[in-house]
Amino acid sequence: MAISISATFDFVSRRSKPQDHCKSFGVIGIFRSLGYLIAPIIAGLIIAETIDFFPYSLSLSFVLVSVFFLLILLQFSPKKDSPEYDHKARYRHFNFFKEFTLLRKVAQILFPVLIFNITLYIFDATFWTIGPLFSESFSNFRNFGGLFMAAYTLPVLLVNWFVNPITNKFGKKKTAYISFLLGCVLLIPIGFIKEPLLIICLTFISSLFNSLAWPAIDGAYADYISESRSYQKEIISLTDFTCNLGYIIGPITAGLMADLIGNQNVFMALGVGSVFVVLMLILITPKHINVVLHR
pLDDT of residue 80: 54
CA distance 112 to 31: 28
CA distance 202 to 147: 12
pLDDT of residue 1: 42
CB neighbourhood size of 103 (10 A): 17
Q: Please choose, from the candidates 148, 122, 120, the residue with its C-alpha nearest in 3D space to the C-alpha of residue 134.
A: 148
CA distance 169 to 126: 31
List, for the chain, all residue ranges whose pLDDT scores fall below the cut of 50: 1-3, 83, 85-86, 88-89, 92
**Per-position b or e across 85-97, b if 16+ CB within 10 A of its CB:** eeeeeeeeeeeee
pLDDT of residue 40: 62
CA distance 200 to 183: 14
Please state the pTM of the whole predicted model.
0.81
Ordered by start, the domain boundaries in the chain are 2-284
Residue 109 DSSP class: H
pLDDT of residue 136: 77
**Cα separation values, 267 from 103, 119, 256, 273, 280, Å:** 34, 14, 13, 10, 20
Residue 110 DSSP class: S
State percent of the chain over pLDDT 70: 76
**CATH for 2-284, options being 3.30.420.40, 3.20.20.140, 1.20.1250.20, 1.50.40.10:** 1.20.1250.20
